[in-house]
Structure 1
Amino acid sequence: MVMWWLSSQPKGQRQVVVSILPSFICWHIWKARNKAVWEGISLSSGDICHGIIQDVVLAVSSEVNRWNLLPFFDQFFDRLSEPPMPLQCKIVRWRAAGTRIATLNTDGCSKGNPRASGGGGVLRDSEGRFLIGYSVCLGVSTSLLAEVLALLAGLRFCHQRGFTQVRVQSDSLVLVGILQCWFQCSWQIRREVFHIWQLAEDSGHFSHCFRETNTVADILANEGLLHPLVQMKIYNHPCMLPQLARGALRLDRSGFPSLQLLKRTPA
Structure 2
Amino acid sequence: MLSYRPTRPPLEVFRRVFDSPTSVKVCPFIRISIAYMLWEIWKGRNSSRYAGQVMRATEIMRHVTQWLRSTHSLVPNKTKRSRSVCEAFGLWGLHIIPTQTWTTVRSVRWTPPRAGQWKLNVDGASQGNPGSSGGGGILRDSTGCILFAFSNFYNIQTNTVAEAMAIRDGLFLCEEQNITNIVLESDSKVLVDMLRADSCPHWRLKNIWADIMRCRGRITTITHQFREGNQTADALAAHGVRSRRRTVFSFWQDMPLEARGAHRLERLGIPSLRIHRTPLPASPRQWRIAWRRSGVVTIGR
Regarding TM over 0.5, the answer is: yes
Matched, 1:210 2:185: no
Partner Cα separation in structure 1 for residue 122 and residue 248 of structure 2: 14
Structure 1: runs of 5+ lacking an equivalent: 1-25, 47-63
CA offsets 1:46-101 (integer angstroms, 9 cap, x no match): 6xxxxxxxxxxxxxxxxx9554833524489x989x89744111111111243321
Matched, 1:72 2:86: no
Deviation beyond 3 Å, 4+ runs, structure 1: 32-36, 41-46, 64-71, 73-76, 82-86
Partner Cα separation in structure 1 for residue 8 and residue 139 of structure 2: 64
CA offsets 1:208-244 (integer angstroms, 9 cap, x no match): 111100000011001111222x3x2011111111111
What does 1:82-231 align with in structure 2 at a 5 Å threshold?
85-181=101-197, 184-201=200-217, 205-228=221-244, 230=245
Partner Cα separation in structure 1 for residue 162 and residue 207 of structure 2: 14
Matched, 1:261 2:287: no
Aligned to 1:57: none
CA offsets 1:225-264 (integer angstroms, 9 cap, x no match): 1222x3x201111111111111111111111011111233
Change (3 A) 1:150 1:74: same
Secondary structure of the equivalent of 1:31? coil
Partner Cα separation in structure 2 for residue 66 and residue 204 of structure 1: 46
Query: How many residues are matched?
Result: 218
Q: CA shift at 1:111, angstroms?
A: 0.9
Change (3 A) 1:66 1:199: same
Change (3 A) 1:30 1:162: farther
**TM-score between both structures, scaled by the size of structure 2:** 0.62
Secondary structure of the equivalent of 2:197? coil
**TM-score between both structures, scaled by the size of structure 1:** 0.70
Task: Compute the RMSD of aligned alpha carbons.
Answer: 3.5
Structure 2: runs of 5+ lacking an equivalent: 12-37, 43-56, 62-78, 281-300
